[in-house]
Structure 1
Amino acid sequence: MVGLEQLSAVSVFEDRYKPNIELEEAKQLVRDAITAGIFCDLGSGSNVDLCVITEKTVDYLRGYDQPVQKGLREGTYRYKPGTTAVLTKTVTPLTLDVVDESVQVMDTE
């Protein structure tokens, strides 16, 4: 299954990739593709790391970009116990019947 973050990244490549692209332009292209994925997946984090592989070297560019900056908390988010009153409390028991139970091995390769 393909997620939105993958589709977003691929769409950037499909739009802007060209043969014999210059190194700096290629790094910007990959950065933009990763950023598109980040904005479509809340679990992706907020840093862009690149790995540039050439005939002569392999360069790891950790922290190449940070397209999303965390905001500063401007207030406190701690509330004293009892400040939010519980107006009503209803417990509804659920009766469930197990119809079928099976275990499947997931392919993790």
Structure 2
Amino acid sequence: MADKYDKAMAYLLAAETDEDFTERVWDAWRAPYDTDGGALFQHAGTGPDCGCLTSVRRGSFDAETPELTAAIRADERIPKYCADITRDNLPVFAEWQRRIDRELGRS
């Protein structure tokens, strides 16, 4: 059964052009809790210093735990900037969001 991350990927991947895909990603990345596709770009924790996967990867913010922060920063499959997100990256974002859900007890 499809979860919210599968649905977010489906929405983003339904973009007919690269321009439309980029716009959908940008909108979802900017407002991850309020947009279709945004589930992939939720913050990697609940604290004020927690950021999304791209911002944790580039070192601008942390994840909820030092272990998650280190693992995200080490994962070269995660782009450092929203502008670099491609269709091929979306399963990586889903994988990480599911892991964060499990580790933080997030639903």
> If the length of structure 2 is used for normalisation, what is the TM-score?
0.28
Q: Based on CA coordinates, which of the two structures has the bigger radius of gyration?
A: 1
User: Which structure carries more helix by proportion?
Assistant: 2
Q: Which has the higher contact order (CA 8 A, sep 6+)?
A: 2
> Going by fraction, where is strand more abundant, 1 or 2?
1
TM-score by length of 1: 0.27
